Amino acid sequence: MSEIKRIPHCSHWGAYTILVQDEQIVGIEPFAHDPAPSPIIHSVPEWANPERRVLRPMVRSGWLDKREHSDRRKRGAEKFVSVSWDEATTLVADEIRRVSSTHGNASIFAGSYGWTNSGRLHHASSLLKRMLNLVGGFTRHVDTYSIAAGPVILRHTLGSSDACDGQANTLDTIAAHTETLVVFGALSPRTAQTEAGGIGAHRLESYLRKIAERGIRIVHVSPLKDDMPDWVDAEWWPIRPNTDTALMLGLAGEIVKAGRPARDFLDRCTSGAERLLGYLDGSSDGIRKDAAWAAEICGLDADGIRQLARRLVDTRSMLTVSWSLQRAHHGEQPFWAALGLASIVGQIGLPGGGVGYGYASLGGVGSPFNLGKSPAISQLTRPIDSFIPVARISDMLLNPGATFTYEGETRTYPDTRLVYWAGGNPYHHHQDLNRLSEAWTRPETIIVQDPMFTATAQRADIVLPATTSIERNDLAGNKRSDFIIAMKQAIKPVGDSLPDFEIFDRIAGKLGVADRFNEGRDEMGWVRHLYEASRQDASERLGFDMPDFETFWHDGYARCPVRADHTFLADFRIDPEAHALKTESGKIVLGSETLARLGYADCPSHPAWVEPAEWLGNGSDASDLHMISHQPAGRLHSQIETGVASVANKRNGREQARLHPDDAAARGVSDGQTIRIWNARGACLATADVTDSVRPGVLVLPTGAWFTPRAETGLEVAGNPNVLTLDIGTSQFGQGCSAHTCLVRAEPHIADQRDAFEEYQDRLVALATA
Ligand SMILES: Nc1nc2c(c(=O)[nH]1)N[C@H]1C(S)=C(S)[C@@H](COP(=O)(O)OP(=O)(O)OC[C@H]3O[C@@H](n4cnc5c(=O)[nH]c(N)nc54)[C@H](O)[C@@H]3O)O[C@H]1N2
Ligand SMILES: Nc1nc2c(c(=O)[nH]1)N[C@H]1C(S)=C(S)[C@@H](COP(=O)(O)OP(=O)(O)OC[C@H]3O[C@@H](n4cnc5c(=O)[nH]c(N)nc54)[C@H](O)[C@@H]3O)O[C@H]1N2
Ligand SMILES: [Mo]
């Protein structure tokens, strides 16, 4: 046996060392500078398992025969044929050329949403966009599934999305100054495990420990108790899902009723406050928004709300709002209402006061932020300006030529002929997958580039096998991490897979644009180039010395210049004129002239309680459960679903659905039993986890189970919540996804008990190459 090699690497869930002996991974060790490494690092060896991988380029047999005239309903059912890389890249290049010349480049949809891997060179969707921008462009997407309604409303009301991108108050200032912390959603190490582009040090828990040590009052508002670690002394307010806006407005209304709104702050730093105040005191609609009103909607205690309202103005208080709250129908409102409440309290811009969004939603939010230039390969300039809001994919495919609204503009859906997806899994991320399946029959050609034979790849016409990051060289980094990490190649490519850069470079060659695509650099040339650009910027702009490339590559990491101890809008508070915000008034917008003009009922001109399409309120009955499909603890989305960390959270081979003992009893469900969860949109199986850590009436089923519908019945057997979720925009203004707005029913499922993964694997074998 040869000696064990130690290879530094990084994924979205953190940095680690891969131990390799004789081309085999024999162990994974956490990064030495990480105080709280994620268990997901131990799933990484599963990437090397050839059974999970696409081994060769493949083409659906019907598409190979008839090209754009194939029977598109056979996607996901018809066998694939393997082809050489030369054939595959020729087919792809010809198809791009055909669609571009016959229908125009807007008919190529390459929004290609998805997290791909953490490498900044082999970032699959960036490379796809770079390549297509050299041949006339494509239809793209705006915003993300993570946050869409949130940044849209914050851009309009705060002039930027900084407050939800990790540039609000840093957690160190909160730990030092805050006296009352109200957490809407979660502050959980579960989600803080990951960060887009990797993370060197997971710091959430160390800040939470400091907060816990100071013994400040924490109110935790969420339908799920363990959205906050149990070692933090927090008071749990088990709110009815999707009603936080009413709670925020009720708190604000109590402060107004008590005659204590921060008049000076409202006058100097906000615009349109009268619209909001008139709504709160009931002068605009006859309904006073106070504790009693909110308690009724939210299912909470009115006295508690009254006391908290007083405490918010009597002490230094901070509101944190998870991204999840805006991933719901009318998701603009909780983000705006929190800003309204914080403005009425009047502590925005003071240390440990105000409001911030997305703490712990990703690992770097609230940590000191990177002031340097984070490494990224350029997508080049866009020749055309065609886009959709990210979650309107099914709408676009089903309704070519129809209009949609976004941020106050009216636009048109393109006529999509070709879809190219690289590094994303819409059969993981999109809502109402049965509706997506219908939409998926519309384009003439679908190309998917992924290391795994994902549910999306199974439903493609051409599948291009990419290597995973451990089979090539790259670097990780982002604006919320204080490290750039080397991602060195650990093993040889599995099967005939190729690194993403190499795949696009070959296609660019067939399209005659390789020179401009690769700029004369190979893989290591680019890794060095991207690192040097960050290093040079840090030195020139910030006077911060980063190690030279050789030292970085040898050590496996480099530190970046960061800002700690940050108070959001501190300058603006002191002098709002000199530090005007990029909003319609230059101030915080609490009543919007633009929205008043637009007159949208689903996004009014001030923060307002607007009932969601589905919730535990008017019209729901006792058998309804509100489903929260939150992020899975043991994996990132659908990635490495069969790895050890993911499997550890399953029971009987399925995802676990949590529900309250009263709800279980009412349905005859016992702990550990297989249940069928269903609504008019679809049905899936899961294993019941009966626990009083969820509010009665709520069911929690994590995302990410590999989509495994039975051919005969459509019953999804692995526990993928997106067969149930609702595919509507948050509002006409933001058009975000509304995943967390969803009513379901549940019942025991006694019939057949096959292992979900066996059924998934059967499908792969059935589709496997002829
Ligand atoms: N119901 C519900 N649905 C949700 C959410 C929710 O809260 N509830 N959350 C939403 C959110 S916030 C998000 S961000 C989305 C996430 O949705 P996605 O980002 O689409 O999910 P992933 O599983 O990360 O998909 C990444 C894909 O990239 C592939 N991949 C990994 N490495 C590489 C590589 O090096 N090259 C290539 N070419 N491919 C690679 C993986 O195999 C995987 O198929 O899901 C959304 N969906
Ligand atoms: N382990 C792991 N971590 C991840 C990811 C992953 O896949 N796995 N994905 C990452 C990504 S892409 C993103 S965008 C972030 C998302 O980060 P978040 O949006 O913060 O995460 P979620 O898990 O969707 O939701 C957090 C909690 O919000 C609560 N919640 C849901 N609806 C409501 C509501 O109406 N009111 C209140 N008060 N609470 C509600 C739920 O109980 C849920 O557990 O997570 C990231 N972190
Ligand atoms: Mo996300």
Q: State mean pLDDT over 379-396.
A: 98
Q: HSE-up of 203 (CA within 13 Å, CB side)?
A: 22
- Per-residue pLDDT tens over the stretch 330-351: 999 999 999 999 999 999 999 9
- Our answer to whether residue 145 is catalytic in this structure is no
pLDDT at position 728 over 60 = yes
In percent, how much of the chain has pLDDT > 90?
Answer: 96
What is the pLDDT confidence band of residue 271, given thresholds at 50, 70 and 90?
Answer: very high
CA of 751 to the centre of ligand 1 (A): 32
**Which residue's structure tokens are 């020729």?**
90
pLDDT at position 578 over 90 = yes
Q: State mean pLDDT over 8-37.
A: 97
Which residue type is seen at 292? A
Q: How far is CA 643 from the centre of its chain?
A: 21
Q: What is the greatest pairwise CA distance in the chain? A: 81
Asked if 477 and 483 touch (Cβ cutoff 8 Å), the reply is yes
pLDDT at position 668 over 60 = yes
Identify which of 149, 152, 264, 29 has the alpha carbon closest to the alpha carbon of residue 610: 149
CATH class of 58-145+378-469+495-520: alpha beta
Average pLDDT, the chain: 97
pLDDT at position 770 over 60 = no
Q: State mean pLDDT over 462-467.
A: 98
Residue nearest to atom 17 of ligand 2 (CA): 361
Q: pLDDT value at position 619?
A: 78
> Where exactly are the structural domains of the chain?
5-52, 58-145+378-469+495-520, 149-360+567-597, 625-756
Residues whose beta carbon lies within 6 Å of some atom of ligand 1: 114-117, 122, 124, 145-146, 327, 422-425, 428-429, 449-452, 454, 466, 468-469, 500, 629-630, 636-639, 703, 721-722, 725, 739
Q: Which atom of ligand 2 lies closest to the CA of 633?
A: 1
CA of 324 to the centre of ligand 3 (A): 9
Q: State mean pLDDT over 243-252.
A: 98
Identify which of 602, 651, 716 has the alpha carbon closest to the alpha carbon of residue 153: 602
Residue nearest to atom 33 of ligand 1 (CA): 116
Dump the DSSP string for 289-311: -SHHHHHHHHT--HHHHHHHHHH
- Our answer to whether residue 420 is catalytic in this structure is no
Asked if 328 and 629 touch (Cβ cutoff 8 Å), the reply is no
Q: Which two tokens stand for residue 410?
A: 């009216």
pLDDT: is 351 or 757 the higher one? 351
- What is the SS3 assignment for 456-514? HHHCCCEEEEECCHHHCCEEECCCCCCEEEEECCCCCCCCCCECHHHHHHHHHHHCCCH
Helix (H, G, I), strand (E, B) or coil at 535: helix
716 DSSP assignment: B
Q: How far is CA 275 from the centre of its chain?
A: 33
What is the pLDDT confidence band of residue 751, given thresholds at 50, 70 and 90?
Answer: confident
Which CATH number, 2.60.40.420, 3.40.50.1100, 3.40.228.10, 3.40.50.300, labels domain 149-360+567-597?
3.40.228.10
Cα–Cα distance between 458 and 205 in angstroms, integer?
Answer: 39
In percent, how much of the chain has pLDDT > 70?
Answer: 100
Cα distances (Å, whole numbers) of residue 204 to 33, 363, 413, 651: 14, 7, 41, 28
Site to substitute for ligand 1 among 116, 449, 500, most atoms within 8 A of C-beta: 116
Cα–Cα distance between 114 and 125 in angstroms, integer?
Answer: 8
Between 123-137, 279-293, 748-762, the lowest mean confidence (pLDDT) is in 748-762
pLDDT at position 245 over 90 = yes
CA of 578 to the centre of ligand 2 (A): 37
Residue nearest to atom 46 of ligand 2 (CA): 191
Q: Which residues contact 51 (CB under 8 A, 6 or more apart)?
A: 761
Q: HSE-up of 463 (CA within 13 Å, CB side)?
A: 33
Q: State mean pLDDT over 416-431.
A: 98
CATH of domain 625-756: 2.40.40.20
Which residue type is seen at 535? R
CA of 719 to the centre of ligand 2 (A): 17
Cβ–ligand 2 contact at 148 (below 6 Å): no
Cβ–ligand 2 contact at 322 (below 6 Å): yes
The catalytic position among 13, 47, 63, 115 is 115
Identify which of 416, 434, 471 has the alpha carbon closest to the alpha carbon of residue 682: 434
Pairing of strands 403-406, 409-412: antiparallel
Cβ–ligand 2 contact at 149 (below 6 Å): no
Cα–Cα distance between 195 and 10 in angstroms, integer?
Answer: 11
- The total of other beta-carbon atoms located within 10 Å of residue 23's CB is 11
Cα–Cα distance between 293 and 616 in angstroms, integer?
Answer: 16
Q: State mean pLDDT over 427-432.
A: 98
Please, which residues bridge with residue 558 across strands?
484
Q: pLDDT value at position 174?
A: 98
| Closest ligand (CA of 631) | 2
Q: Which phi and psi angles does 591 have, rounded to 5°? A: -135, 125
Identify which of 545, 128, 561 has the alpha carbon closest to the alpha carbon of residue 377: 128
CA of 739 to the centre of ligand 3 (A): 12
pLDDT at position 553 over 90 = yes
pLDDT at position 497 over 60 = yes
What value, to the nearest 5°, has the Cα angle with vertex 474 and ends 490 and 541?
Answer: 145
- Per-residue pLDDT tens over the stretch 693-706: 999 999 999 999 99
- The total of other beta-carbon atoms located within 10 Å of residue 712's CB is 6
pLDDT at position 1 over 90 = no
The catalytic position among 13, 16, 47, 113 is 113
What is the pLDDT confidence band of residue 753, given thresholds at 50, 70 and 90?
Answer: confident
Question: Does 58-145+378-469+495-520 match 149-360+567-597 in CATH topology?
Answer: no
CA of 629 to the centre of ligand 2 (A): 8
Identify which of 689, 631, 684, 641 has the alpha carbon closest to the alpha carbon of residue 663: 689
